[in-house]
Amino acid sequence: MSTDTATLPVGRYAYDQVDRTFLSQRVAQFREQVGRRVAGDLSEDEFKPLRLMNGLYLQLHAYMLRVAVPYGMMGADQMRELAHIARTYDRDYGHFTTRQNIQFNWIRLEDTPDILERLAGVNMHAIQTSGNCIRNVTCDEFAGAAADELLDPRIHAEILRQWSTLHPEFSFLPRKFKIAISGSPHDRVAARFHDIGLVAHPGPDGRPVFDVFVGGGLGRTPIIGVHLRDNLPEEDLLAYLEAVVRVYNAYGRRDNMYKARIKILVQALGVEQFREKVDAEFAQMNRADYRLEPAIVEGIRARFGIPDLDAPADAARKLEADRKADARFDRWVRTNTHTHRHEGFISAVVSIKPDGGIPGDVTADQMDLIADLADEFSFGEIRVTHMQNVVLGHVRKDRLRDLWRRLEGAGLGTPNIGLVGDIIACPGLDYCALANARSIPIAQKLSARFANPELQENIGTLRINISGCINACGHHHAGHIGILGVDKRGEEFFQLTLGGSAENDVAIGQIIGPALPEDETVDAIARLIDTYLVLRNEGEAFIDTYRRLGAASFKDAVYAPA
Amino acid sequence: MDVRNNRRDMTGASVITANRLLDGRIVWLAPQGWSEAISQARVFDNAAVEDAIRQARAADANTVVGIYGVQLDPDATHITPLTVRERIRAFGPSVHPDFAPVETSHVH
Ligand code: HEM
Ligand code: SF4
C-alpha cells in the first residue's frame, strides 16, 4: 500500500486496512458477548473479564468506559467523535485522565457495542485500557514540537503500541503494566514512576538509543524506578523490553495482588539480580526475530503526518507586539505555552482546570470547539496530557492571540498551567468504586480560593495532586503538595504529603502528620502556602523552600493554626 | 466483594442496593422489585438483612449486579445511608447536583 503523505493525519499514526478489520471484528465479538450476558447465558463472573477487556468498568453510579488515546495524540475528527459519544450516550461530558485516556462516566451496557463501533470508525478503541496487560503507552505532550526535544518519542511509542497490543505472552501478566517514553532531557512523562520508563536520545552514531528505568510506580507502595541500563540501541528495543517483561511474567508474584507489580519484584531481587535475569533472558533470545531495522522504523515514521511548519518571517515579532498590547494575553502566554522547535511556532496548553471547576472534565461543546480550533490553528492535531490538560502542538505565533480569544470565550483560557490552579485530581468518591474520599471538591475549593491569577503567579510553580485512595491515580505522591483521601468510619479525611516530584528531581512526598477532616483540609493547605510565601528566598518555588527548610516549618502551619 | 460494601453494625437497619445490569444505574430493593429512588427502599432490621441479600442474589443475578446491604443513619429523618460513600450513591455525585437520581414514583 502506498502512503500518500498529503492525506496522512498530522502527528499520529495512520491505520491501515488490517488495523480497521481487526477493530470491527472486536466490536462484533463484544456485541455478541453483551447479547449473551443480557440473555442470561453468561453470568456476571464470566462476563466481567470480557467487558474489562473492552475498557468497560462498573463504577459507583453506572458503567464507565475508558477509551485509549495512544500516547495522548488524537485528531480533530476523533475528538468530534468523542463529543458525539458524550452527547448521545453520556451526560454531555467526558473526563481526561492522568494516563492520557478519556473516561465516560454514565455509559449504559446496552449502548457500549454501538459506542465501540463509532470509535472504531475513527480508529479508536478501549482495548487494553484495563486488565493485567501492557496499558496505553504514554508520551510527552510536546512530542515532535518541543524545542528541547532530542528525538520524537511518538514513533517508538507507536512501535511499542503495536508490539504490546494483544501480545500473546503478555495478556495475563501478574498485574497491569505501564510504559512511558520521553524524547527530551526534561522528564515530562514521569518516566521514573512507571513500570518501564524510557528516555530516548541520539546515540554516538546519531541512531536512537534509550535509557531504561524499571520498577517505578505509585499506588500502595510508591517506588522510584531504578536505572536498568543506558544507551540501549534502537534495534534491540523490542528484544530488551520483551526480556524485561518476560522476567516479570516469570517471577512476579501472582499470590498477592498488592505485591504483584514489577516494582515489588525489582525491590525483592535487588537491581543487580534483576538486571542479571534480564540480561540472561536477553542473551538467549533469538534477537533477529525482534530486531528493529532502520527500515521498519522508517516505515512507521512514514505513516505519521508531518505539519507543514511555515510561518511568516515576522510571526514572532507580531506575538511580541500582541503581548505588549494586552496584559491578560501576555499572562496566558507566560503560563500556558511551551517553546517550539520552530521559531515561528509555539505549543499552546489549554487548561482543563477552570477556577472552581472539575479537573479534566470537558463538555461535548468544548470538545467540538477544541476540534475546530485544532483544525484552524494546529493542523487538526490534539494532545491530552498526563496533567489532565489539552495541548495544541503547533500554533503560528502570529495567530496565537486569535486562538486565545476563542478559548477565553469558551471558558478554556484559564492562565494557570503549572500553578496552584493546575491541580491533578482523580475522580475520587464522587465516581470511583474504590475511593475512600472525594478528590474533586477539594480541587474545586482550592482552585476557587486561589483563582486570582496574580496571586497564582506570585506563588509560582506548585504541583498539587489529589487521589481519593491509596491507588494514587491522582499521583499524590508526586505532588509538591499531595493530598490523599482516607476513610475513618465512613467519613472523609485527608492526609498531606510534601516534597514529591515526577520530574528530573524525582521524589516521593513525605507524610507530614495525621489526616485532616474534610472541612479543615483546604484551610490547612492555604496556611501551608502562606507559610511558604513568608519563608521563601528570592526566586524560590515552593519545592525549593520545602527542600531547604524541611517539613517541620510547614507542620506548624498545618496543625497549629493561629 | 469490597469489605466496605458490607460494613454494617450488628444492630440498626439497612437497605439493599445493586447496579442494574443493562444501564449500570444504582437501584434499591423496594417492596416490589428494584427502584432508582432510595426513598422507596424497603428497610430491613440488620438481623434479617443477610437473608434478604441472599434471596435477592439468587433471584436477580441476571438483572442486577453487585447486590449488598447499606447501613442506615439512625438519626436521619429520611432513609439516609450512614457513610459518605453510600450517600453519594444514593443522592448522586456531590459535584454534579444536576446528576442526582430523579425521584420516580413508580416502582419497577
Ligand atoms: C475510576 C476508575 C478507576 C479505577 C477502578 C482505578 C483503579 C486503580 C487501581 C486499582 C490502581 C492501583 C494499581 C496497582 O498499584 O497495582 C490504580 C492506579 C493508578 N491509576 Fe487508576 N483507577 C481508576 C481511575 C483512574 C483515573 C481516572 C486515572 C487518571 C486520572 C487513573 C490513573 C492511575 C494511575 C496513574 C495509577 C498509578 C499506577 C502506579 O504507578 O502504580 N486511574 N488505579
Ligand atoms: S486513586 Fe483511588 S479513588 Fe482515585 S481513581 Fe484511583 S482508585 Fe479511584
Considering the domain architecture, whether residues A250 and A174 belong to the same structural domain is answered as yes
Considering the domain architecture, whether residues A295 and A319 belong to the same structural domain is answered as no
Q: Which of A302, A326, A360 is the last residue of a domain?
A: A302
Tell me, what's the pLDDT at B1?
35
Helices A542-549 + A552-559 axis angle, to 10: 110
Contact (Cβ atoms closer than 8 angstroms) between residue A210 and residue A238? no
**Residues in chain B within 8 Å Cβ distance of A440:** 95
Task: Establish if A1 belongs to a structural domain.
Answer: no
Considering the domain architecture, whether residues A143 and A287 belong to the same structural domain is answered as yes
Nearest CA in chain B to A440: B95
Cell numbers for A142, please give them: 510536546
pLDDT tier, B3 (very low <50, low <70, confident <90, very high otherwise): very low
**Residues in chain A within 8 Å Cβ distance of B23:** 62-63, 108-110
Task: Establish if A280 belongs to a structural domain.
Answer: yes
Task: Establish if A129 belongs to a structural domain.
Answer: no
Domain ranges of chain B: 13-91
pLDDT at B37 over 50: yes
**Residues in chain A within 8 Å Cβ distance of B25:** 61-62
Please give, rounded to a whole number of angstroms, the shortest distance from the CA of A517 to a CA of chain B: 13
Pick the closest to residue A433 from B104, B31, B88 (CA basis): B88
A484 CB neighbour count, 10 Å cutoff: 26
Tell me, what's the pLDDT at A561?
55
Q: Which of A302, A329, A357 is the last residue of a domain?
A: A302
Tell me, what's the pLDDT at A2?
42
Considering the domain architecture, whether residues A488 and A439 belong to the same structural domain is answered as yes
Contact (Cβ atoms closer than 8 angstroms) between residue A303 and residue A3? yes
Q: Which residues contact A560 (CB under 8 A, 6 or more apart)?
A: none
Task: Establish if A4 belongs to a structural domain.
Answer: no
Residues (pLDDT < 50) of chain A are 1-4
Q: Is A175 in the pocket of ligand 1 (CB under 6 A)?
A: yes
**Residues in chain B within 8 Å Cβ distance of A434:** 2
Task: Establish if A415 belongs to a structural domain.
Answer: no
Q: Where does B1-108 show beta strands of DSSP type E?
A: 13-20, 26-30, 33-35, 44-45, 64-71
Angle, vertex CA A66, rays to CA A62 and CA A70, nearest 5: 170
Q: What is the 3-state secondary structure (H, E, C) of A308-340?
A: CCCCCCCHHHHHHHHHHHCHHHHHHHHHHEEEE
Q: Is A103 in the pocket of ligand 1 (CB under 6 A)?
A: yes
Considering the domain architecture, whether residues A324 and A376 belong to the same structural domain is answered as yes
Contact (Cβ atoms closer than 8 angstroms) between residue A31 and residue A38? no
- Domain range for A246 is 138-302
Q: Which of A359, A385, A409 is the last residue of a domain?
A: A409
Q: Do A58 and B19 touch (CB under 8 A)?
A: yes
Closest-approaching ligand to the CA atom of A359: 1
Considering the domain architecture, whether residues A541 and A469 belong to the same structural domain is answered as yes
Write down the mean pLDDT value for chain B.
Answer: 88
Q: Which letter does DSSP use for residue A221 in this model?
A: S
| CATH number reported for the structural domain that contains residue A77 in this entry | 3.90.480.20
Please give, rounded to a whole number of angstroms, the shortest distance from the CA of A330 to a CA of chain B: 32
Q: Is A98 in the pocket of ligand 1 (CB under 6 A)?
A: yes
| Structural domain count, chain A | 4
Considering the domain architecture, whether residues A88 and A32 belong to the same structural domain is answered as yes
Q: Do B88 and A60 touch (CB under 8 A)?
A: yes
Considering the domain architecture, whether residues A262 and A172 belong to the same structural domain is answered as yes
Contact (Cβ atoms closer than 8 angstroms) between residue A524 and residue A496? yes
Q: Do A492 and B84 touch (CB under 8 A)?
A: yes
DSSP string, A461-503: S--EEEESSTT-TT-GGGSSEEEEEEEETTEEEEEEEES-BSS
pLDDT tier, B108 (very low <50, low <70, confident <90, very high otherwise): very low
pLDDT tier, B7 (very low <50, low <70, confident <90, very high otherwise): low
**CA distance between the termini of chain A:** 72
Give me Rg for the CA atoms of chain A. Answer: 23
A208 CB neighbour count, 10 Å cutoff: 23
SS3 A349: strand
Q: What average pLDDT does this structure show over B52-58?
A: 96
| CATH number reported for the structural domain that contains residue A496 in this entry | 3.30.413.10
Considering the domain architecture, whether residues A146 and A288 belong to the same structural domain is answered as yes
Please give, rounded to a whole number of angstroms, the shortest distance from the CA of A131 to a CA of chain B: 18
| pTM, full prediction | 0.94
Task: Establish if A50 belongs to a structural domain.
Answer: yes
SS3 A10: strand
Considering the domain architecture, whether residues A148 and A38 belong to the same structural domain is answered as no
Of residues A14 and B90, more confidently modeled = B90
Task: Establish if A279 belongs to a structural domain.
Answer: yes
